[in-house]
A and B are shown apart, each in its own frame.
Chain A
Amino acid sequence: MLLRCVLKELMALKEVEKNLLLVELNGLLQTDDKIALKEITRQLHLENVVGDKVFGSFAENLAFLLEALKRGDKSSSRPVVFVLDEFDLFAHHKNQTLLYNLLDVSQSAQTPVAVLGLTCRLDVLELLEKRVKSRFSHRQIHLFSSLTFPQYVDVVRGQLSLTQDFPQPTFSSQWNKSISKLCEDKSVLDILKRNFNTSKDFRSLQSLLFLVVSRLSISHSTLEEADFLEASRLTFADSKANVLHGLSILELCLVIAMKHLNDTYDGEPFNFQMIHNEFKKFIQRKSHSIHKFEKPVVMKAFEHLVQLELVRPLDSGGVCKVQREYQLMRMMLDHTQVMEALQRYPQCPTDVKQWALSAFA
């Protein structure tokens, strides 16, 4: 964003616009040096480019590009700006050839180039090889958001308000008034505060506001705090708890059995047979005939849980030579999640609930 603004402002200068060559690369697209080189030569329109195709092998391309860069000098050739997005991925290329060469050119009296790397990793310099690092100019700009909460609310207001040049001034002033009123509302502030506490970046704010704004319609033309509540409910919902709500009673019973196993054996892995035993004990002790299922049915329910990845085998990946009943498993749920889901489960039988709570008693 910052870079875009800078480049836009630079390009607005006439002298710069005529003289600057911009090459943009992205570590996610240019996954190795070969592709990156092709992209560079294509964007620079060197002579081995015909149409949009780049000719020559990888080695030829590199020699070609270096030759081109070497021929230039400070006073006669146009400066080139390289923008490397996802810079850390470029450091994973073989030998870091591309980085070495770009930085080498930037440090020597060849074509004037500027290399701008963008990355989210703080330790990116440690990825660089020694000789590459020596050529890097060690100039870093860190963008941390050091906003305070009042500033954050101002940003929200700014994001939601309509600009001056909106065609209908009456509506826009009305709208802006309602927005600033909302920004002083207690419950809205609570939601914003929570979002602010979780993450200070603007993307998460924007995704929250997007949910808010998308609830607008012709019949509902001003934002209310209910919209914020609904949006925050959507963003803060726990994904696993939602999955638990959609389970059948039998599956829920299995989850509870697993939770008990976790409690008694302190997080040790378990297998299907153990869960089944636990479940049988429960039926014998308490339940009526409603919960008496055949073993294959229970097995099916268990497999369903495995497919939802609420339960995962201990040795993931490998070919399982063990029978399904005896394969060691782990539950991927926290206790709080289970208990919360149980509280909210629609029409949960009382005996199941009691069974779940019994461990704490």
Chain B
Amino acid sequence: PRLANPSIPSRLTPAKKPGNVLEEARTRTVWWGGGRLHVSSIPESLPCREQEFQDIYNFVESKVIDGTGGCMYISGVPGTGKTATVHEVIRSLQQSAEHEEIPHFNFIEINGMKMTDPHQAYVQILQKLTEQKATPDHAAALLEKRFSAPAPKKETTVLLVDELDLLWTRKQNVMYNLFDWPTRRNARLVVLTIANTMDLPERIMINRVASRLGLTRMSFQPYTFKQLQQIIASRLNRVKAFEEDALQLVAALSGDARRCLDICRRATEICELSGIQQKGSGLVGMSHVMEALDEMFSSCYIAAIRCASVQEQLFLRAVLAEFRRLGLEEATFQQVFVQHQGLCRVEGLQPVSVSEGLAVCQKLGSCRLLLLEGSRLDLFLRVRLNVSQDDVLYALKVD
């Protein structure tokens, strides 16, 4: 099956076209990042990343025109548009290459998360360059030869390495090679690397690797409130589905664009549902966004404690009482159990047996309201709370 084209079986009936404004809004807020750019949902240009776009563009363009090589390190927290920007750069460069404004170049992309092992990087690069298949060692040797041997009329290769931190090995030879190849005279290789932390080169790379990475760094700041607002607006362009203040609220939340679009999508869904029940304004309003936010970010611990059975709540109370008595944040099951039986008597319930008490304790442990040791220790297993004491008190007090 080497030559087969893997694919998901195609669907038998065509997908529905979006029927109304809200549905269209929902499909437009789908995140476009990741692998190949999907033509239908990318915006005309990435809003708010013009400066970074320009920097990367200039860097790659100059290297392509000069026929030299180089490295660039791009960092930033997840959801700030790193990968999307680089893709955008490559796309516009490819366009200008088609118009013969700059020389043609190859583009290869690998992702550290999509490999089983750092050494697979060689295999994937080789496969994307020449369609050959080889073992990692063999592939490394072939690539080595390819990048060091002089060959006239060789095209520049742009290599995008996403999730760089996963290519770390003990001897760091994968990273070393990736950064060493561009320095060869005949390589004509531009390497763009992307990772989350800014100080990754200093933290995990040995000196000779870090020095080859060079100083061309760029960091993506989290989106500001204004920028996120702009992004959502550009994504929805022309479709009028959101009320103005609802949009602002969404944008004020976090610097992660993915998160923002998720909230938008969820709010749109909620709006759609309520729209079926009553004919409202048809727009996504403040209340819908608030509901979506509640759903996504509210802590579930308090609700879980409130819905727990009587004995479970008593057990939690016993834990708190024992903590207060000991002055520690940790107690053995035996100590808590004594308190538990006392509480049972106070509440006028039948006192529980040790087995029952342990079962209650394990149940709380399995949903991680408590942190427990292995149950083989039996009476001596240590119990800690996974929530703050105030939360427990609050949850128990209300009813």
Contact = CB atoms under 8 A, between A and B. Distances in A.
Nearest to B347: A197
Nearest to B369: A122
B6 A71 contact: yes
Contact of B360 (A95, A123, A198): A198
Interface string A18-31: 11010000000000
A190 B220 CA distance: 63
Given A59-B116, A75-B15, A134-B258, A69 B8 contact: yes
Contact of B11 (A63, A78, A100, A104): A78
Given A48-B1, A97-B116, A199-B363, A68 B13 contact: no
A198 B34 contact: no
24 contacts: A21-B8, A45-B9, A59-B115, A62-B116, A77-B10, A77-B11, A79-B11, A80-B8, A104-B35, A107-B31, A109-B40, A120-B367, A122-B368, A130-B77, A133-B78, A134-B78, A139-B296, A142-B303, A144-B304, A144-B307, A198-B310, A237-B355, A240-B354, A309-B378
A360 interface: no
Contacts of B31: 107-108
B44 to A, nearest CB: 16
A236 interface: yes
Given A21-B8, A55-B1, A66-B114, A135 B304 contact: no
Interface stretch (A4-12, A221-229, A329-337): A329-337
A309 B354 CA distance: 15
B57 interface: no
Interface string A48-78: 1010000110110011111111111111111
A186 B185 CA distance: 91
A80 B11 CA distance: 11
A165 interface: no
Given A70-B35, A104-B35, A133-B78, 14 more contacts: A46-B6, A65-B6, A76-B11, A78-B8, A107-B34, A122-B369, A130-B196, A131-B196, A134-B258, A140-B295, A145-B307, A146-B306, A197-B349, A199-B312
B353 A238 contact: yes
Contact of A71 (B7, B120, B297): B7
Nearest to A241: B353
Given A18-B13, A239-B355, A131 B163 contact: yes
A142 B300 contact: yes
B304 A122 contact: yes
A336 B11 contact: no
Contacts of B388: none
A315 interface: no
A236 B353 contact: yes
Nearest to B352: A198
Query: Contact residue range for chain A?
Result: 35 or more
B162 to A, nearest CB: 10
A198 B359 contact: yes
Contact of A100 (B4, B113, B259, B359): B113
Contacts of B300: 122, 140, 142
B34 A108 contact: yes
Interface of B: 1, 4-15, 30-38, 40-41, 77-79, 113-117, 120, 123-124, 163, 166, 196, 256, 258-259, 262, 265-266, 295-297, 300-301, 303-304, 306-312, 334, 337, 341, 349-350, 352-356, 359-360, 363, 366-369, 378-380, 386
B333 to A, nearest CB: 10
Contacts of A145: 307
B262 A137 contact: yes
A240 B379 CA distance: 11
A108 B38 contact: yes
Contacts of B307: 144-146, 200
Contacts of B32: 108-109
A253 interface: no
Contacts of B163: 131
A138 interface: yes
B34 A104 contact: yes
A144 B13 CA distance: 38
Interface in A257-313: 309
A105 interface: yes
Contacts of A146: 306-307
A21 B9 CA distance: 9
Contacts of A59: 115-117, 120, 123
A58 B8 contact: no
A64 B353 CA distance: 55
B309 A198 contact: yes
Nearest to A98: B113
A76 B9 CA distance: 9
A304 B36 CA distance: 67
Contacts of A345: none
A346 to B, nearest CB: 20
B78 A131 contact: yes
B115 A72 contact: no
Given A62-B115, A130-B196, A332-B378, A144 B303 contact: yes
Given A68-B6, A71-B7, A134-B78, A101 B113 contact: yes
B296 A238 contact: no
B296 A196 contact: no
Contact of B356 (A15, A108, A198): A198
B356 A77 contact: no
Interface string A118-161: 00111100000011011101111010111000000000000000
Contacts of A68: 6-8
Nearest to B299: A122
A185 interface: no
